[in-house]
Amino acid sequence: MAIGTTSIRMTLRSMPFQFEATNGHWNVARPEFSQVVNSASLAMPYLEPYLIRSMRAARAQISDPALQAELDLYIKQEAAHYKQHRLFNDTLRVAGYGCIEALENTLHEDYTRLEKQRSLRFNLAYAEGFEAMALVIGQMLIEERVFLFGNSNPAAASLVLWHFVEEIEHKNVAYDVLHHLYPGYWLRISGLIYATTHIFWRTRQGYHRLLKEDGLWKSLASRWALAKVLFRILSNLIPKWLRILKPGYHPSQIADPAWALAWAALFRENPAGAAQLDTAQLGNAAPVAKQNHFAAPQECP
């Protein structure tokens, strides 16, 4: 049997997001946070296919059918994530950001090099490091959802929150695959540190260049606003990240946020509404759909 079981059943969802071309500031009140998220989004069409290829390479060596089944659904969720982020990233390209091509080329080169030059053992440790960090980020985004996403563009906010609800759903898979094939505390921790450092470094390079193109990087007011939002985010993240260092850590020990469970229930009732959250009501205990008129697709079989 796999070590952990998911508290929220992993589900492959067809999300009917409707992204509109903007200047990249989908949260008008927090343009700096918008660009932090935009920078992270640029990585997804390169990071997540790399994770998928690493997991597929591991699958043939896994002897547990239950873990194989979870891995298969994990791959399908990650594939849905990067495809939606690619569509969202196209809106940034349309907005005219000239730095995007160079940023994407760098990310492509990074993950191509890791896949070709590093062992499967390393790549699975990186995958678990990313997934451990994604669980922490997902919890933080849900806890800080009003501050970070309140009154922002519904499609952009819904994209990010959907993505990280599903990161919480499949929180056990990468850990269980790594432990099944290459158990060991120090391998897991080295993957966590490498993935965290690499992703934060590339994200910082990205939002720096995006904010420079906005003309905001030289603004003291904007830099102060960025510092405040990063301080708030890191103050929430760091204690959660540190618990991953415990020798007995397993992601199944981390309770699923009630709001994530409520979001999954909203999707079952109203898929289109889950893709268009009412960002003026994010403080509610359960997510509320913004009024919309487009057709609601059902869960993928």
**Domains parsed from the chain with CATH numbers:** 31-253 (1.10.620)
**Tokens in use for 69?**
């089944």
For residue 7, the model assigns a pLDDT of 53
Alpha-carbon distance of 50 to 113, in angstroms, equals 10
Per-residue pLDDT tens digits for 95-125: 999 999 999 999 999 999 999 999 999 999 9
**Tokens in use for 128?**
């678990």
Which position has the token pair 């990233």?
89
Question: Is the confidence at residue 278, as pLDDT, over 70?
Answer: yes
Predicted TM-score (pTM) of this structure: 0.93
Contact 212, 143 (CB under 8 A): no
Per-residue pLDDT tens digits for 147-165: 999 999 999 999 999 999 9
Amino acid at 194: Y
**What angle (nearest 5°) sits at the alpha carbon of residue 15, between those of residues 29 and 159?**
25
Alpha-carbon distance of 133 to 126, in angstroms, equals 11
3-state secondary structure of 288: coil
With cut-offs at 50, 70 and 90, classify the pLDDT of residue 220. Answer: very high
